[in-house]
Structure 1
Amino acid sequence: MADDSEFTDEALSGPVVDRRTTVSLLGAAGLGALAGCSGGGDSGGSGETTTSSGGEETTTTESSGGAQTGGRLQAGWFTGSIDVLDPPYISVGQYFQAAANIFSGLVTLKDDLTVRGDLAKDWEVTNGGKTFTFQLREGVTFHNGSDFTADDVKYTINRTIEKEAPAASKLSTLKPVDDGGVVVQDDYTVQLNFKQAMAPALIYLTRGPGRAATIVCQDAIEEMGEDQYAITPVGTGPFEVAEHQVGSQLTLDAYDDYFETDEDGNQLPYLDGVDIKPIPDPSTIVNALKSGDIDIANLIPLQNVDSVESASGVSVDSAPGVNWYGLAMNQEREPFGDVDARMGIAKSINNEQFIQAAYFGNAISAQGPINKATNWVYREDKPDDQAYDPEAAQQLLEDSGASGASFSILTTKSSLRGAKVMRQQLNSAGFDVDIEQVTSSTYWERYENGDYDVTISGSVGDPDPDQSLWNFYRKGGPWNWTNYEDDEVHQLLADQRRALDREERKSILQQLEDKLITDVPHAYLVHQDDLAGVSDSVQGFQHIPFLRNFHTVSLSE
């Protein structure tokens, strides 16, 4: 390769993309900083190879050194409920952390930064990066016993696009599915054809939140219906849903016919199952971890980080956060339709004080939506239009007629502390702000339907800037819950997708970020690391940012 912006067909072809090419792919897709968080330490084995067994290729994962088999992992999820497990419809990062254990993708990205096959055992890239031909694994079954074939790949992609699910944005350059976009050549060969070269396509086809090729089961969807499938889905992953009581318990059992083994030929997963319990109260989830009632907490409330770090038998496991959070302001409600009012609110917020009070210092200030982990496009010297400036804020608020405005912050129990800190700052700036605390289910229903004034929210698990910006700020975007519309931003979003040269794309993205900072659809607040709490009895946990994969986890006695 001449540079990180150029990829040959040979370099992109399977069955494993080498580390150098993968790092270049990650950079082109906006995941470059993850190159620094790979492997080593106590991850419990990170490499994968493809071996032959009876004429059939099977992916193997390095064992964690005599891993114990059996037992059930007790996991606490820092949320009130896990409402949706149907991959293309998941817009909440914590939901996919659970769903990733139920489903597989065409390919996957592991913590040693190699792209390797998941449901695809090999693939070939031709036509100057426009055509990807995947050879699929034979003998793979869904949890209901249905055979996995190339038709399921086409169905998954077509469903995602037809339903206009959030994940469809990853496939915007794919040709129409029934007009050469997805070609089923035989039961175990499928071809994807793009309108233009799409070097980062392999990254977008990995198993992960918002990915478009996390394979779903057509038979199960047609049998149980879309609504039930969202609660008790059927995949090809290491665990199957045994029971799901929304808001109470998600019970996953090991799938006996899962296709992966470790390097010694031992069947994965090692565990008998995973019992996931939503726990929205910060002190409750931390006390459950420290007392041994749960073995892992998918997230550690930031006010409890020091408590977990100082406790015996547990630790905080950290990975770079690929996110941004801001104060979302609903532009269909007054006074948030006025840009001066929004900027006045933004300049009334002291980010550093907010981080100390709400995040206990465990975050960095966000001047815009592009996070520091995507270091190829991140800048320290962003426009400071939203910087804390009480005098300028008051002038903007007076000019816009928004001084002393009354509104409420929509929040859940797990986010209550941040809402209280925000209310205190805004009330000190002369507003009349109260808090509406609701359940997680009610929160997402109201947020998605525009039934709110302001809320603290943002993007989680979207390591490419496009993945969050496109969905949040495009006209009609699936996560455009602030109701923000701007013709220039809409065009810049389209332009950056067509820019295959990284420097050109970088320039467009930074121009786009500048516009978002000045238009203030969000008052940008923080970026935070991805923190999980893990008991010493948990072995082989591979902490990939924004994922919680348990197929290599075992429990020591």
Structure 2
Amino acid sequence: MSGLENTTMMAADGLLNSNFLAVAETQGMFFSGPDVRYGSNYNQSTGETAADVLADYKDEFGESPAAPFWAHSYDAAALLLDAIAAASYEDGGTLVVDRAGVREHLNGVTGYSGLIGTMACDAYGDCSSSKITVIQNIDTGDYDASTANVVYEYAPLAATQVGDIAAGAEKPTYGGSVTIGVEAEATGLRPWEDACSSPCYNMMITVFDKLFEQNEVGSYVPNLAAGISANDDFTVWTVSLRSGVRFHDGSAFNAQSLVDMWAIQQGGAAAAGHIAATGLTAVEATGDLEVVYTLSKTNSAFPSYLARAPLGMAFEPGAAAADTDAFSVAPVGTGPFVIESRDIDNETVFTRNPNYWQKDMWGRPLPYLDSFAVRPIPDETTRLASLTSGTVTAMQSLRQATIRDAREAEGITLHEFQGNNAGGGMFNVLLAPYDDVRVRRGLSLANNQLAVIEALGGKGISGPATQFFSTDSPWWSQAVYDAYPHFDYEAGKALIQEYLDDPERSDGKAVGEKIDVDLSCPPDPTLIAAMSVLEQLWTGTGMVNVTLLNTDQATHINTALGMGNGFMGDHGAHCWRWGSEDDPSVGLGDAYAPWQMSPLNFSNYSDDEASAALAEAITTDDFARRKELYEIVGLIGARDMPMWYSGSTATLIAVANGIVGLDNWTTVDGQLGIGHPNAEGRWHQVWWDN
């Protein structure tokens, strides 16, 4: 048209269609729309990659989809089916789908891996990867080439924004402090030695850097490490390290540091299980900033072990070797904060490390806060009240009732995370009567999960669990769900009766005499309420004497660990949490490895077939095969029931209004981080928004 010869033409996604882009007049036009560079993206619910789905579509219809939203439709269907599964339950033979639960499940989706990328859902139920691209049609005969020709992208939810967007982002401010109330005191602050749960990790992660971190989809990316590579059979791993990193005492962190740490880790209670699981036999410095880990067996998941405390957190080996007990009180790491004081059971204070190596996206030193303090406040109600009253400025919780109450509070911001965390417990299979599968399955069948969840305050927040993985995890198994002994009181009674009537029953009691069960859990009111439900159910069979035991969390953990009796533990039926966002080899490896090799196998159960599946799963990086093998382990667990599950556990970090950064911290290479699973914050990127 005359006068418009030099006009730049641009259209929206409605015209981002292969048929339209083939029109000659569209050559050189720009189109805004979704990012269609799906690459190796996969849907975590089905395990299918974008290439797999597209190939299936072509097989069915003989052509590719004309518009780009086929992947969005696939992800939307998978998300909806997950939400329906999570919000469904059986009531007297009738399948009930809780419509409000479906909405609530979708509202809580974050870090979901889809064909279109990593997705999150907002409070209005809108789910997306929040990325828009502009492409230029450079070849009307090649749709794929044109859609791959991205000239601009906008990602408002990510911290790794492109071009002018990142330059204009608000810069965090320095200064101020955060005091967090946690559910228990740490058992210790020695990564290689002390079994660590959520409160402990909130402390350790301020002092110690990990070699690797997880990004928003759970992949392992370098942190204190700069890179990693493996030989063909995954038995030799070469790790390069970042330069210029120093411990808090001023000494240099280098490859020799990791070698000297290894000498200490080999004698550590917490590290022992990970050493056995990985087959780690040697750590050798092959350069000042290069170290080689040698394994006795193939382990394709080895980097996941370098992202947790026992083998992955860098501590100053000289101080650790000089006095291990003193180190637990005054640990020395390379982390963003330095310990200033430790008043056990009262408060531990950390101050900003002025020489910290990590920078933010503007090249400024981290952390932002001047100080960070941790106060153990075991009572959930008191901890929440401490936050709302201003006594503390943050709190963590893994209790559903606390999340329910926090949602009603004013003046605070909630950061919830569902993930693979589940509540339940374990049976110590080395002790009678828990050594008999009939007792374990009978007690599990007599566990009314919905009643326990309601006692925990989790109704409408979390659903029943059956395995280490949540329904929205790519590792979740329908077969394991089907095999799990769901609540069937009469079937449970029948199994327990069969044990009672066995003249060779393992507890040595007379035929027909009741079994004795010690049921232990920390003295939190909601946990006591939940254990009371189990006590009533088990006692109600008329065949079980239940003794309720309550000890503080540190004692509860150490009782299960069993350091005083060769790691067999002194527990019977012990409440516990299962699952994490780690690679399955970590959690399942700990839980099912022979107890003589893994102090973190708290149930002391092992099975040759499960061990073989776990061993094979780390010989390959093929997702589908690994999932099959972990499903075998799950099926064995559902058959023999060394562990029981009650409900999935949403976790919470709540903060005073104005504290930001927990949801959108980034890895060293600029990727969005995994968030705050298990209520573990990355406090070095938190700041006060003034």
Q: How would you bin the TM-score normalised by the shorter chain?
A: 0.7 to 0.9
Query: Partner of 1:406 in structure 2?
Result: 516
* 1:193-224: CA deviation from partner (whole Å, max 9, x where unpaired): 55677554444333x355x222111111123x
Structure-2 change in CA distance of 1:342 and 1:122 (3 Å): closer
Query: Partner of 1:511 in structure 2?
Result: 632
Structure 1 residue 338: Cα displacement: 1.6
Structure-2 change in CA distance of 1:523 and 1:399 (3 Å): same
Q: Is the 8 A contact 2:44 2:472 kept in 1?
A: no
Q: Is the 8 A contact 2:480 2:635 kept in 1?
A: no
Aligned partners of 1:197, 1:395: CA distance in 2, in Å? Answer: 44
Structure-2 change in CA distance of 1:486 and 1:172 (3 Å): closer
Structure 1 residue 555: Cα displacement: 1.7
Structure 1 residue 255: Cα displacement: 0.8
Please show how residues 360-375 of structure 1 align to structure 2 within 5 Å. 360-361=458-459, 362-375=461-474
Q: Is the 8 A contact 1:153 1:215 kept in 2?
A: yes
Structure 1 residue 340: Cα displacement: 0.8
- Structure 1 SS opposite 2:247: coil
Query: Partner of 1:525 in structure 2?
Result: 646
Query: Partner of 1:436 in structure 2?
Result: 549
Query: Partner of 1:88 in structure 2?
Result: 192
Structure 1 residue 263: Cα displacement: 2.7
State the one-letter code of the partner of 2:518.
S
Aligned partners of 1:117, 1:403: CA distance in 2, in Å? Answer: 58
Aligned partners of 2:233, 2:441: CA distance in 1, in Å? Answer: 45
Structure 1 residue 47: Cα displacement: 4.1
Structure 1 residue 484: Cα displacement: 2.1
- Structure 1 SS opposite 2:517: strand
1:275 aligns with 2:373: yes
Q: Is the 8 A contact 2:419 2:581 kept in 1?
A: no
- Structure 2 SS opposite 1:367: coil
Aligned partners of 1:326, 1:458: CA distance in 2, in Å? Answer: 6
Superposed CA RMSD in Å reads: 3.5
Structure-2 change in CA distance of 1:86 and 1:462 (3 Å): farther
Q: Among 655, 660, 670, which residue is 1:534 paired with? A: 655
Aligned partners of 2:540, 2:659: CA distance in 1, in Å? Answer: 46
Q: Is the 8 A contact 2:191 2:270 kept in 1?
A: no
Aligned partners of 2:158, 2:207: CA distance in 1, in Å? Answer: 21
Aligned partners of 2:167, 2:638: CA distance in 1, in Å? Answer: 45
Query: Partner of 2:251 in structure 1?
Result: 146
Structure 1 residue 131: Cα displacement: 5.1
* 1:142-194: CA deviation from partner (whole Å, max 9, x where unpaired): 112211111112233453345464465268556631xxxx3322222223455
- Structure 1 SS opposite 2:493: helix
Query: Partner of 2:101 in structure 1?
Result: none
Asked which structure has the greater CA Rg, the reply is: 2
Aligned partners of 1:44, 1:76: CA distance in 2, in Å? Answer: 28
Query: Partner of 1:481 in structure 2?
Result: 602
Q: Is the 8 A contact 2:400 2:649 kept in 1?
A: no
Q: Is the 8 A contact 1:462 1:468 kept in 2?
A: no
Structure-2 change in CA distance of 1:64 and 1:399 (3 Å): farther
Query: Partner of 1:416 in structure 2?
Result: 528
1:471 aligns with 2:590: yes
Q: Is the 8 A contact 2:210 2:309 kept in 1?
A: no
Q: Is the 8 A contact 2:331 2:339 kept in 1?
A: yes
State the one-letter code of the partner of 1:468.
G
- Structure 1 SS opposite 2:684: coil
State the one-letter code of the partner of 1:324.
A
Q: Is the 8 A contact 2:660 2:686 kept in 1?
A: yes
1:553 aligns with 2:686: yes
Q: Among 591, 598, 613, which residue is 1:492 paired with? A: 613
Structure-2 change in CA distance of 1:124 and 1:388 (3 Å): closer
Unaligned runs of 5+ in 2: 1-36, 49-109, 121-128, 132-154, 501-511, 563-568, 664-674
Structure 1 residue 262: Cα displacement: 1.8
Q: Is the 8 A contact 1:410 1:436 kept in 2?
A: yes
Q: Among 178, 184, 203, which residue is 2:285 paired with? A: 184
Structure 1 residue 62: Cα displacement: 9.8
Q: Among 170, 177, 195, which residue is 1:72 paired with? A: 177
State the one-letter code of the partner of 1:108.
E
Structure-2 change in CA distance of 1:275 and 1:218 (3 Å): same
- Structure 2 SS opposite 1:374: coil
1:397 aligns with 2:501: no
Which structure has more RCO (C-alpha within 8 Å, separation ≥ 6)? 1
- Structure 1 SS opposite 2:188: coil
Structure 1 residue 268: Cα displacement: 1.0
Aligned partners of 1:253, 1:495: CA distance in 2, in Å? Answer: 45
Structure 1 residue 273: Cα displacement: 0.8
What TM-score results when the alignment is normalised by the length of structure 1? 0.83
Structure 1 residue 256: Cα displacement: 0.9
Unaligned runs of 5+ in 1: 1-17, 50-60
Aligned partners of 1:23, 1:98: CA distance in 2, in Å? Answer: 34
Q: Is the 8 A contact 2:186 2:196 kept in 1?
A: no
Please show how residues 303-382 of structure 1 align to structure 2 within 5 Å. 303-361=401-459, 362-379=461-478, 382=481
Structure 1 residue 385: Cα displacement: 5.0
State the one-letter code of the partner of 2:286.
Q
Structure-2 change in CA distance of 1:341 and 1:239 (3 Å): same
* 1:316-371: CA deviation from partner (whole Å, max 9, x where unpaired): 21123223332312233332222111111111111122112224223221223344
- Structure 2 SS opposite 1:91: coil
Query: Partner of 2:134 in structure 1?
Result: none
Structure 1 residue 287: Cα displacement: 0.7
State the one-letter code of the partner of 1:390.
Y
1:456 aligns with 2:575: yes
Aligned partners of 2:577, 2:404: CA distance in 1, in Å? Answer: 25
Query: Partner of 1:238 in structure 2?
Result: 336
% of aligned pairs identical?
A: 20
* 1:70-102: CA deviation from partner (whole Å, max 9, x where unpaired): 1110111122x1122222334332112321111
* 1:53-79: CA deviation from partner (whole Å, max 9, x where unpaired): xxxxxxxx9997232211110111122
State the one-letter code of the partner of 1:292.
G
Of stretches 237-246 and 314-323 in structure 1, the one that deviates more from structure 2 is: 314-323
State the one-letter code of the partner of 1:392.
A
State the one-letter code of the partner of 2:538.
L
Q: Is the 8 A contact 1:238 1:269 kept in 2?
A: yes
What TM-score results when the alignment is normalised by the length of structure 2? 0.68
Aligned partners of 2:41, 2:334: CA distance in 1, in Å? Answer: 25
Aligned partners of 2:278, 2:44: CA distance in 1, in Å? Answer: 17
Q: Is the 8 A contact 1:157 1:213 kept in 2?
A: no
Structure 1 residue 421: Cα displacement: 2.8
Structure-2 change in CA distance of 1:266 and 1:34 (3 Å): same
Structure-2 change in CA distance of 1:288 and 1:78 (3 Å): same
- Structure 1 SS opposite 2:534: helix
Aligned partners of 2:288, 2:403: CA distance in 1, in Å? Answer: 50
Of stretches 332-341 and 250-259 in structure 1, the one that deviates more from structure 2 is: 332-341
- Structure 1 SS opposite 2:249: coil
Structure 1 residue 44: Cα displacement: 9.1
Q: Is the 8 A contact 2:400 2:458 kept in 1?
A: yes
Q: Is the 8 A contact 1:407 1:433 kept in 2?
A: yes
* 1:467-501: CA deviation from partner (whole Å, max 9, x where unpaired): 12221222122222323243333333323333443
Aligned partners of 1:374, 1:404: CA distance in 2, in Å? Answer: 40
Q: Is the 8 A contact 2:177 2:371 kept in 1?
A: yes
Q: Is the 8 A contact 1:45 1:62 kept in 2?
A: no
State the one-letter code of the partner of 2:177.
R
Q: How many residues in Structure 1 have an aligned counterpart in Structure 2?
A: 518
